[in-house]
Amino acid sequence: MFKRFLRYALLPAAFVAGIAAAQYPILDLIADRVVQKYQNATCEQLWENRGKHSEREKQAVQMLRNDPQARKAFLDRIAGPVMNKMFECGMIP
């Protein structure tokens, strides 16, 4: 009985999470690229490229500024891996 209750209690949460992931498929691709960029870069490369942004990156940032829900979804995807790499490289205290 409890297993059945648990299955039906968790089903809506899983459904909502699936909708949130499907809502921004392009944003998911961008987030994956950002995570890969940080994971594959050396600390020296990150320090050299700090503050340099391409035109595409500037457009993506502007889009995130205009859409709080997209910004939250994006930051939720990249925060852990990017912050860990920045911490390892001494870029954040």
Whole-structure pTM value: 0.68
Kindly report the three-state secondary structure assignment for every residue of the chain.
CHHHHHHHHHHHHHHHHHHHHHHCHHHHHHHHHHHHHHHHCCHHHHHHHCCCCCHHHHHHHHHHHHCHHHHHHHHHHHHHHHHHHHHHCCCCC
- 28-40 pLDDT per residue, tens: 999 999 999 999 9
Asked if the model's pLDDT at residue 62 lies above 90, the reply is: yes
* The pLDDT of residue 23: 79
User: At 67, which amino acid appears?
Assistant: D
